[in-house]
Chains A and B, each alone.
Chain A
Amino acid sequence: ETGVTQTPRHLVMGMTNKKSLKCEQHLGHNAMYWYKQSAKKPLELMFVYSLEERVENNSVPSRFSPECPNSSHLFLHLHTLQPEDSALYLCASSQDVGKETQYFGPGTRLTVL
């Protein structure tokens, strides 16, 4: 349960705010992922990082900006979001990209007013 942690767990922000989501994995994995989970929609892959390099950007708007300073930490910087961006943002990690078993964090519940 503590292998992948995310902070904050809940975040309420206005459309003009700038905030960041943080993910940390304690599993020694090399790959990290950001997903968006909205009500009644499948989990949507946003970004994939392997050894701190972005290997996939799934047509995500530029108001979401990821950062991976090292293989244990992943950030998602948010600015000028829209109400439709309200969702649960999940971080995951896996041993390597291509080692498909992914372990999820608890998520950040984001509400954009």
Chain B
Amino acid sequence: GENVEQHPSTLSVQEGDSAVIKCTYSDSASNYFPWYKQELGKRPQLIIDIRSNVGEKKDQRIAVTLNKTAKHFSLHITETQPEDSAVYFCAASKLSKLTFGTGTRLQVTL
């Protein structure tokens, strides 16, 4: 089955800096890669996603890149703000099944 690895497990950046979270996946048939943000005590919420026919996608301060050959994808957050502090999960999907990474706890400090 699919295996998703996510790094780093924790990330601390200063407000205004950029943050990058990386994930790798094992199943080349996976074709959809969402990123979820989970604030403390709240539900995971989709923040951006990318499909396998696209290499990069951007939404304001958030961007995701996908390298299908290397089977890795990354989340980039620019101009980080305190409200970006949360746990971020990557996932890889084939058909109905989402396999999640272990999460990255992002802390944005003032």
Flag whether A34 is at the interface (Cβ < 8 A).
no
Q: Number of A-B pairs whose CB atoms are under 8 Å? A: 53
Given contacts A48-B96, A106-B43, contact A101 B49 (CB under 8 A): yes
Flag whether B18 is at the interface (Cβ < 8 A).
no
Contact A31 B43 (CB under 8 A): no
Residues of chain B within 8 A of A44, CB atoms compared: 100
Nearest-CB distance from B94 to chain A (Å)?
9
Cα–Cα, bound, A104→B98 (Å): 13
Interface residues in B12-54 by Cβ distance below 8 A to A read 32, 34, 36, 42-46, 49
Scoring A residues 19 to 59 as 1 if CB is less than 8 Å from chain B, else 0, what string do you get?
00000000000010000000011111100101000011000
| Interface size range of chain B in the complex | 20 to 34
| Interface size range of chain A in the complex | 20 to 34
Scoring A residues 63 to 104 as 1 if CB is less than 8 Å from chain B, else 0, what string do you get?
000000000000000000000000000100000011011111
Cα–Cα, bound, A50→B102 (Å): 26
B residues adjacent to A (C-beta < 8 A): 4, 32, 34, 36, 42-46, 49, 89, 91, 93, 95-103
A residues adjacent to B (C-beta < 8 A): 4, 31, 40-45, 48, 50, 55-56, 90, 97-98, 100-107
